[in-house]
Amino acid sequence: MCSAPAEIEDAILACPGVTGCGVIGGAAPDGSEVPWAFIKPGNGTLTEETLAAFLRVRISDYRIPGRFVFLPNLPLSAGGKVPRDRLKQLSSRPG
């Protein structure tokens, strides 16, 4: 699991234009594990670059997600939380 997913999620949720998110550990090109963020954007324009710039001044560089996945909706548990196992399933889908 990536380092401090809840802290990363809190930082992402503070970004204007983000209405939901979940963070899991994923593979970097070199084989190491890095955070991957699954984002539900609200209205407006939200890009990977904008979000990364927002995060750079709020969390450590190694906690900046190596991958941002923008989704119209996030999977939610009955309790209203984003289940990380469902995000793992989404990350393993081709394309």
| pLDDT attached to residue 2 | 64
Considering the entire predicted model, what is its pTM? 0.88
What tens digit of pLDDT does each residue of 69-79 get? 999 999 999 99
b/e code 12-47 from CB counts within 10 Å (16+ = b): beebeebebbbbbbbeeeeeeebbbbbbbbeeeebe
Domains located in the chain, CATH noted:
5-91 (3.30.300.30)
- Are 65 and 23 in contact by the 8 Å Cβ rule? The answer is yes
Using one digit for the tens of pLDDT, what is the confidence trace for 13-65? 999 999 999 999 988 889 889 999 999 998 878 999 999 999 999 999 999 99
> How high is the pLDDT of residue 70?
94
